[in-house]
Amino acid sequence: MNANVQLHEDGALEASSLSPEERVLLLEAAVRGMRYRSSMATRRVAPLPEDVERLAYLGGVLPEDGASPASVLEDLDTFGSPATVGVTSGRYFGFVIGGSLPVTVAANWLATAWDQNAGMVTASPVSAQIERIALDWVLDVLDLPRNAAGAFVTGATMANFTALAAARHAVLNRVGWDVERQGLQGAPEITVVVGEEAHASLLRVLSLLGLGREHCIRVPCDDEGRMRADALPEVSGPVLLCAQAGNVDTGAVDPLDDLARWAHANGAWMHLDGAFALWAAASPTRRHLLAGHARADSWAIDAHKWLNVPYDCGIALVRRPDELRAALAVNAHYLTDSGMREPMHYTPEMSRRARGVEVWAALRALGRRGLADLVERCCGHAEHFARHLAAAGAEIVNRVSLNQVLVSFGSPERTLRVIDAIQRDGTCWCGGTVWQGKTAMRISVSSWATTDADVDASIAAIRRCMRVA
Ligand SMILES: *Cc1c(COP(=O)(O)O)cnc(C)c1O
């Protein structure tokens, strides 16, 4: 043991057992991180092009000799921080990118210091237990079946992948086909039913699972992007229905009760991609929008969106744990079985970081009321945006029921000019989209940090840009 490491009788190591360099380095990282986050109040949301160009200083040929850790950190902060997108600012409304609650950043730093391998109970009892608790809380707060199985993965894409791997197993197992052993070659055909407005990542997942992104039946949607239940196809054999809660443009939710009825009548597996909107089930005033959500067989949800934990963090949930395990369990002679829930049997990965820690921290810090409040605050901000931009002469393209607002400023060209002006202005950041043929700007309010003042400042900036564009 290192001379300056002293093991105390209670097993605790003093911080002084760290070398002075390591102590200073880790404290310095915390100080720089704090300085960065506190700069958000005044800095522009998008970086300036020259700040991005200066990143070249971090490159060049990898030098023969290493640099001191302190100078490595300094370079990262000096060149990296100014080139970041101010996602934590409260005025970032692009895509559906949440911020990160301070407690989740703190939990992330501590868990990173732990450097746990979350794949196995023996490698990290603490991660396995905290994940278990966090999953129980997620099921409870979203009112999903309490004994569903769950898996912590990188995001909703992998959550969709994980849940649909379980679905693929189950629907083929019911007709006597073992897809894990035999693969899909020669397997009975699975009819995959997907809405016209499904998220692009879901189609990618279908291709990864060998089901084919175009070999599926696309169900027409209404003008909000909801699957039309009256347009569901006639089907037979193994069937997989992929529903959506929270269209990335409009926030609309498929008619889940109707879809569940159809799925049950047809013996289909119903999967629900609820990447951000599933969190609305935690809000007493919004959960009616998700009526029927608990009737699915599996769910995908992102914690790094509306729950506001750091990237990367998504969760797959599957009603019958055996079906998730059957699809993903792994066996190797050196892997001991603890007799407890072994995380790696429920995820596509083996080694991975303990991302459940941040979900636990977020839920513990928010409580039920805090989570409902976070959801409702964002929805309220979205309504405020819609009301004031409409009053300023913009057209609100969607029915604002959650945290998404679609705005048109007239012709496609003018809308693009206004979006460009907003992005240059830097007060806030909004992106564009083409919604059912119409060019529009998207406003996604998903951050805990967004205040009334942020929204008002952003509305003022958007109005300024409307005048000049
Ligand atoms: C964001 C999103 C995804 C993809 O999630 P990632 O975390 O980016 O992988 C999938 N589906 C929906 C509905 C989404 O909003």
Task: Give the span between the Cα atoms of 330 and 324, in whole angstroms.
Answer: 12
Pairing outcome for strands 269-273 and 298-302: parallel
Residue nearest atom 2 of ligand 1, based on CA coordinates: 275
Task: Assess whether pLDDT exceeds 90 at residue 228.
Answer: yes
Distance from the alpha carbon of residue 64 to the mean position of ligand 1, in angstroms? 41
Cα–Cα dist 333/331, whole Å: 7
Contacts 24+ apart (CB under 8 A), 61-64: none
> Is the CB of 277 within 6 Å of ligand 1?
no
**Closest ligand 1 atom, residue 314 Cα:** 7
Q: Two tokens at 416?
A: 């693009």
pLDDT at 7: 52
Domain ranges of the chain: 107-362
Query: How close is the Cα of 157 to the center of ligand 1, in Å?
Result: 6
User: pLDDT tens digits, residue range 289-328?
Assistant: 999 999 999 999 999 999 999 999 999 999 999 999 999 9
- Its CATH class, for the domain covering 107-362, is alpha beta
Mutate to test the pocket of ligand 1, among 204, 248, 299 (most ligand atoms within 8 A of CB): 248
pLDDT grade, residue 13 (50/70/90)? low
For the chain, what is the mean pLDDT? Answer: 95
Per-residue pLDDT reduced to its tens digit, 84-115: 999 999 999 999 999 999 999 999 999 999 99
Indicate the pLDDT class of residue 3, thresholds 50, 70 and 90. Answer: very low
Nearest 10 degrees: Cα torsion 229, 235, 239, 241: -10
The C-alpha atoms of residue 245 and residue 232 are separated, in whole angstroms, by 17
The pLDDT of 238-242, averaged and rounded, is 98
- Alpha helix ranges (H) inside 115-191: 125-141, 156-173, 179-182
276 Cβ below 6 A of ligand 1: yes
CB of residue 88 inside a 6 A radius of ligand 1: no
What's the pLDDT at 435? Answer: 98
3-state SS, residue 358: helix
- Of 13-17, 171-175, 282-286, the poorest mean pLDDT is in 13-17
Tell me what percent of the residues of the chain surpass a pLDDT of 90: 93
**Strand order across the 404-408 sheet:** 395-396, 404-408, 438-444, 431-435
pLDDT at 330: 87
Structure confidence at residue 455 as a pLDDT band (50, 70, 90): very high
For the chain, the distance separating the N- and C-terminal CA atoms, rounded to the nearest angstrom, is 67
Mean pLDDT confidence for 194-222:
96
The residue whose C-alpha atom lies closest to atom 13 belonging to ligand 1 is: 275
- The Å distance, Cα 199 to ligand 1 centre, comes to 7
Across the range 211-234, mean pLDDT stands at: 97
363-410 pLDDT, tens per residue? 999 999 999 999 999 999 999 999 999 999 999 999 999 999 999 999
304 alpha carbon to ligand 1 midpoint, in Å? 10
**Residue pointed to by tokens 């879901």:** 202
Supply the DSSP symbol for 85.
-
For residue 17, the model assigns a pLDDT of 87
Residue 10 has pLDDT above 70, yes or no: no
pLDDT higher than 70, residue 135: yes
Q: Which atom of ligand 1 is nearest to the CA of 247?
A: 13
Q: Taking the complete model, does pTM exceed 0.75, yes or no?
A: yes
Nearest C-alpha to atom 3 of ligand 1 is from which residue? Answer: 156
Determine the Cα–Cα distance for residues 155 and 202; give it in Å rounded to an integer: 12
| Residue 338, pLDDT score | 72
Which pLDDT band holds residue 453 (cuts at 50, 70, 90)? very high
Task: State residue 403's pLDDT score.
Answer: 98
Share of residues in the chain with pLDDT > 70 (%): 96
Reported confidence tier of residue 332, pLDDT bands at 50, 70, 90:
confident
CA of residue 65 to ligand 1 center, whole Å: 41
Looking up tokens 């809405």 gives 195
Q: What is the mean pLDDT of residues 220-243?
A: 98
Question: Is the CB of 96 within 6 Å of ligand 1?
Answer: yes
Q: Distance from the CA of 156 to the center of ligand 1, in angstroms?
A: 5
Tell me the mean pLDDT in the region 32-42.
95
Is the confidence at residue 15, as pLDDT, over 50? yes
- Bond from prior residue into 10 cis (ω within 30 degrees of 0): no
Beta carbons of 262 and 232 less than 8 angstroms apart: yes
**Rounded CA separation 273/201 (Å):** 10
Q: How many angstroms separate the Cα of 148 from the Cα of each of 13, 100, 141, 364? A: 39, 27, 13, 21
According to the model, what pLDDT value does residue 356 have?
98
pLDDT of residue 86: 96
pLDDT score recorded for residue 4:
47
Atom of ligand 1 nearest to the CA of 304: 7
Task: Scan for tokens 């992005």, then name that residue.
Answer: 423
Which is more confident, 339 or 161? Answer: 161
From the CA of 248, how far away is ligand 1's center (Å)? 8
pLDDT tens column, 176-195: 999 999 999 999 999 999 99
